[in-house]
Structure 1
Amino acid sequence: MTLVIPTFNEADNIPELLDRITAAVPPGREITVLFVDDSTDDTPEIIEKEALRTPLEVSVHHRAVPVGGLGGAVMEGIDRSGSRWVVVMDADLQHPPALLPELIARGEETGAELVVASRYAGGGDRSGLANRYRVLVSGASTSAAKLLFPKVLREVTDPMSGYFAIRREAIGRAQGPGAPRPLGYKILLELIVRCRPRSVAEVPYDFGVRHAGESKSTVREGLRFLRHLIRLRTTSGTPSRALAFGAIGLSGFLPNLALLWFLTRTTGLHHTAAEVIANQAGMVWNFVLIELLLYRGRKQMGPRARLLSFVALANLDLVARIPLTLLLVSGLGLTPVPATALAMVLVFALRFLCVDRFLYR
């Protein structure tokens, strides 16, 4: 078994953490403890010092460039391990090391490829979350993940857990374009979606209070998680990207209507001219969200060229819809409502394909 522990400025936690891991490992159990460190303090030096007094095999790999955040550190640790089971846990002692033997035992007993230490399974507890804000964020993140991935997460109550054991064969299943590409500190969801473990088991646990140091859960990390969640959903295929594209398009009605209200109420501008201007605001809104959430990392043109191309496509959408509707009414004999609906679907599909295949190819 390899225990992978990502660290970022956790120097004060290392001595106690290694003491508890040593006490938790039963006699005869072979275990390698691998710290993958992104610290800017003396954490790697403390690990090396404490490893000398620890009866376990302990090593530290310090990354000069922390690619992918803590999730990237976990994946690098997994790549460096060669054991049948890999266990991942944090260094802040909110994950109890005493649970290590039970995680592996549950996997061996059930034949599961993934065993998750869950705060939400029967008997689990999340009281170690620092405040109501973190409780709210944790619950909202879990709900969002399960909403977007209902099938793959049906057996998992805590997809945001940072404490789990996974078999080597499950990790090796995700290769090439489907290989994990972590972003931020939530790696379990990435592994479930990319690796699709054939069976999952859970072990409830009490999420403890941080022993020392500061939490890595920040607003910035929350935004990275949201972006990562959308990327995971949309990289699973063209239909998923099309749904996300449509949802972003619908959200553009908010700035459109807000600016239309402002222009007609405060400037006296005619509603037709106001609608044209407001429509451009909605297009820019959509462009920004698509850039940040949907096609991040798939940009070959410059930003100005992308914006102008996107706005041109959106305006062509409006121009093409009216004659297409007339054609459907006069040529196919449809009534105006279904003709308009069909025209909207066809034009949307054409615009999505232009954006997906050419603008962000």
Structure 2
Amino acid sequence: MLEESVGVQVSVVVPTFDEAANVAELLRRVDAAVGGPRTEVVVVDDSTDDTADIARRTAGSLRSEVVVIHRAEPEGGLSGAVVAGLRAARGAQCAVLDGDLQHPPEDLPRLLAALDGVDVAVASRYAPGGAAVGLSGWLRHGVSRTTTLVTKAMFPTRLHTCSDPMTGFFALDLGRVDLAELRPKGFKILLEVLVRRRRRIREVPFAFGARTGGSSKASVRQGLWFLWQLADLRFGRMSGFALIGALGAVANVALVSVMVALGMAFLPAAVIAAEVTMVVNFLLQERFVFGDLIPGAESTRRRFLRSFGFNNAESALRISLAWWLVSRGVLHSAIATALTLALAFVARFVFHALVVYRPREDARTTVGSPSPGS
């Protein structure tokens, strides 16, 4: 067993979520295409059905070694599953394909061969010779084409040679990709790999097939995650902070307007709205903006106290200015609130990034490399 493990040259990572209807056939077809004693298949399973059990039972009849990782508490969605598989992979060459059989395993040999001399080989639906017949209906075709065009427009240099950065079917040389720099979220991990730094890319056309079993995992929620991922990759951490701040600002203005309309004086209404949005913003920022910095930062209690203290001090100054503008009749209460919130944004972001989530002294050497825009 040890000699076989040392000799693994090719790893195939398959993220699965409720693919009990497909996983056995998928494993058999992968094994037929690239299987052997130097190939391993890493199934990273986030399922609520018996996908993992079926994969384990099927493994005994295959030439390749099958490693099944069942994540009871999935993190990072499909992208997180792929990164977990890449970290567990032992082969120098690693291919990734979905577990729904829409990515034909028979194309794996061509995809892996295309890695020669490049960092990433991309199986493209839109390269000459490719097809996207598995996208059901005009709406999914339209959404796929539109998101691809928007994505390429946002990263015109790094995606210049890639016609299908949204595909989940690709291969990479693990010696040329630093997994520590990836911040997986959503379901478009290839996009993250390609834009974190410049890569040498080669495309292989393939026909995206129709699903044969189970149901599609595409959803509005995944679409929103994709938009979040795109903004984060293009504009960095500040984009997430700005989005949460904008939502908090809208909620703040709405709360102030409602309380003033109900007869409350502007000053107490502004104070109550500020305190509520501070707490909510902190919770959202912890989850969506600074989550990767939390392991090296101070405790949650210390982070909250620093954030809450700074925001209250900033709010006291901001509300005083807004109150003066309203009381002197310079601006309407809603406009004054919105304007002063905008002025406070930069100060809040700088303080949170450099102080609230500053790494502890004992953690500075272990925190992962920052991503673009961090």
- TM-score scaled by length of structure 2: 0.67
Quick one: which of 96, 107, 116 aligns to 1:99?
107
Q: Please state whether the residue corresponding to 1:201 is helix, strand or coil.
A: strand
Q: Is the contact between residue 317 and residue 348 of structure 1 (CA under 8 Å) also seen in structure 2?
A: no
Distance 1:281 1:158 in 2: 45
Q: Is the contact between residue 170 and residue 197 of structure 1 (CA under 8 Å) also seen in structure 2?
A: no
Q: Please state whether the residue corresponding to 1:12 is helix, strand or coil.
A: coil
Distance 1:149 1:314 in 2: 37
Cα deviation, residue 4, structure 1: 1.6
Cα deviation, residue 53, structure 1: 3.5
Matched letter for residue 186 of structure 1 = K
Distance 2:183 2:239 in 1: 22
**Alignment root-mean-square deviation, CA:** 4.3
Report whether the alignment pairs 1:53 with 2:57.
no
Report whether the alignment pairs 1:2 with 2:30.
no
Cα distance change on mapping 1:314 and 1:136 into 2, 3 Å? farther
Report whether the alignment pairs 1:191 with 2:198.
no
Q: Please state whether the residue corresponding to 1:11 is helix, strand or coil.
A: coil
Cα deviation, residue 120, structure 1: 2.8
Matched letter for residue 104 of structure 1 = L
**What is the number of equivalent residue pairs in this alignment?**
326
Residue 98 of structure 2 aligns with which residue? 90
Distance 1:21 1:360 in 2: 44
Cα deviation, residue 116, structure 1: 0.8
Residue 310 of structure 1 aligns with which residue? 311
Matched letter for residue 351 of structure 2 = C
Report whether the alignment pairs 1:217 with 2:214.
no
Residue 330 of structure 1 aligns with which residue? none
Unaligned runs of 5+ in 1: 235-239, 324-342
Cα deviation, residue 282, structure 1: 11
Query: Which whole-Å deviations, capped at 9, do the CAs of 1:56-77 have from their partners, x for residues lacking one?
Result: 3141323253432433332232
Unaligned runs of 5+ in 2: 1-9, 325-339, 359-374
Report whether the alignment pairs 1:34 with 2:42.
yes
Q: Is the contact between residue 252 and residue 282 of structure 1 (CA under 8 Å) also seen in structure 2?
A: no
Distance 1:301 1:81 in 2: 33
Q: Please state whether the residue corresponding to 2:115 is helix, strand or coil.
A: helix
Distance 2:47 2:122 in 1: 26
Matched letter for residue 160 of structure 2 = R
Quick one: which of 139, 152, 155 aligns to 2:158?
152
Q: Any residues of structure 2 matched to 1:263-342 within 5 Å, and which?
A: 280=274, 290=285, 293-296=288-291, 300-301=299-300, 305=305, 306=307, 309-310=310-311, 312-317=313-318
Cα deviation, residue 208, structure 1: 1.2
Cα deviation, residue 232, structure 1: 4.4
Residue 132 of structure 2 aligns with which residue? 126
Identity score, percent: 37
Q: Please state whether the residue corresponding to 2:135 is helix, strand or coil.
A: coil
Distance 1:213 1:89 in 2: 16
Residue 14 of structure 1 aligns with which residue? 23
Q: Please state whether the residue corresponding to 2:202 is helix, strand or coil.
A: strand
Q: Is the contact between residue 45 and residue 69 of structure 2 (CA under 8 Å) also seen in structure 1?
A: yes
Cα deviation, residue 5, structure 1: 1.4
Cα distance change on mapping 1:46 and 1:202 into 2, 3 Å? same
Query: Which whole-Å deviations, capped at 9, do the CAs of 1:87-144 have from their partners, x for residues lacking one?
Result: 1111211001221122123222xx2110111223333333312455644554565456
